[in-house]
Chain A
Amino acid sequence: MADFEAIRRQFPILDQQVHGRPLVYLDSAATAQKPQAVIDAESGFYESINAGVHRGAHELAARSTVAFEDARAAMARFVGASAEEGHEELVVTAGATAGLNLLATAFGYASMGRGPAAARRFALGPGDEIVVSQAEHHSVLLPFQELAARTGATLTWLALDDEGRIRTDTADEVITDRTKVVAMTHVGNVTGAITDLAPVVRRAHEVGAVFVLDACQSVPHLPVDFHALDVDFAAFSAHKMYGPTGAGFLYGRRELLEALPPAWFGGSMVELAWMDKPAQYMDPPARFEAGTQPVAQVVAAGVAAQWLQSIGMDAVAGHEQALTSELLRLGDIPGVRILGPMSATARIGTVAFEVEGVHPHDVGQYIDAQGIAIRVGHHCAQPVHRHFGVYASNRASLGVYNTMDDVHALLDAVAGVRPFFGVGGTRAE
């Protein structure tokens, strides 16, 4: 049994007062806090290893390259991707947004005829379709909406049900034999709902489309195995999984990475460059890693993956699920509506809610004054909010370090919101 109290003590940032109260951090869906091991890995890299990777012949360059590649391999083992040399399936990116844009850009180049012959499978044109869902973060919606606009393809989407779950039961109708790309989130960053991926992935493959997964909100909270999920590409960010900002990974099935044209060009991605002949690009993953990479961050991200693996993702999910059941009691507070599934099954501990009669900005201010950090706004997912008929919402999201006390502090604070603002009764003194 993992000792979650001891785990919490590994996060130095949590040991502080905010507005005269102990900090309660409930905004891990935005970014997670970092355990000492990750902080030490990043600063330790600068203290004893720092050098460019894959270039130069000196000792530090060698150590740096080994640390970087070991981190890639550790992350690959953690998410069910190949770590084998020469068959790597993780591309280093600056984060999920960068990974998704890289992919959409590369598909765009494939549509213009760039890349190896095998890249034709990514080519889009008028009459073709890209399918997303209405639950998408803007980081999925916008790159693929732009790709559709650039290529003349049509963007269609799976709708949401009343609870905000993606209507995967409509996959067979929405995904047609014109569909070339399906891009979808594994876990909604507003609703916390876990997508039932199997019917969508199966249908995508049935019509010959590639399936792109946004794994940002699943990798930190659930056991995730990209091979087992049978997805073709997947993007996620290190900073949401207790690693540093500035680093992320794009998973691609090896044969697809080999078929994909590069999206960015520069140093370290080219084998032969000439003035008067086309360049010859490197094999993946280097082909997609132009320029100096966030090496210290990637090394620390590898440590974050090993750190999570040592706790065990089943234990992490179990811990968070127990807290989620309690957190969902938000829905019992008068005037509070949960925007997402009401039960703790097939969802994570990211819970968006509305307090009737009090704008999220005001709710957030009141909650913050109690030393509790939650997110307010549209969480980069405006269409999801439109689905629920609201402009913005409040969102509490759990991480490994949260406790029952944290959840109770939030429940108490939210219960005080309407009395404070004099809504649904008289103002509390």
Chain B
Amino acid sequence: MSSLYDEVAPAPAEGVPTRRITVTVNGEPRTIDVEPRLLLAHMLRQGLKLTGTHSGCDTSNCGACTILFEGRPIKSCTMLAVQADGHSIETVEGLATSSELHPIQEGFKQEHGLQCGFCTPGMMMASKALLEKNPNPTEDEVRWALSGNLCRCTGYQNIVKSVLWAAEKMRAESN
């Protein structure tokens, strides 16, 4: 079990109450002590060292921190870690298996859906949520589903193509 009290303190400041929470992260239960003010994004990055979830703004605007919470996409910088107690979350680290990329990751590779890659984990998690709800989206529906995720590099064109590529592959695989 790891402990995370504040940013990176070995122990909580005196008199600061912490809570022991258990969160299922990519299928594995993780128990951790947190201060209530700790954001879920920081718990993932600093506490569990899952640095795939990015943190791109202070204003809840960019979507780089998007993860799935009980299957729906959320901005992990806009939820407290304590709120995830007893819940299941998925991060970008949960996409690939040890031997195979997820079709969404493959799509981003095939269609050059990233340049710097900063927005990519958030883009992929938002895409996963879309494709679970709607396995055969139109281009418009992809654009709409990703409209809460900002990319400063690609101009979005190739991101949309990547998701459509993944959708096609996933449909083919499920047939």
Real binding pair: no
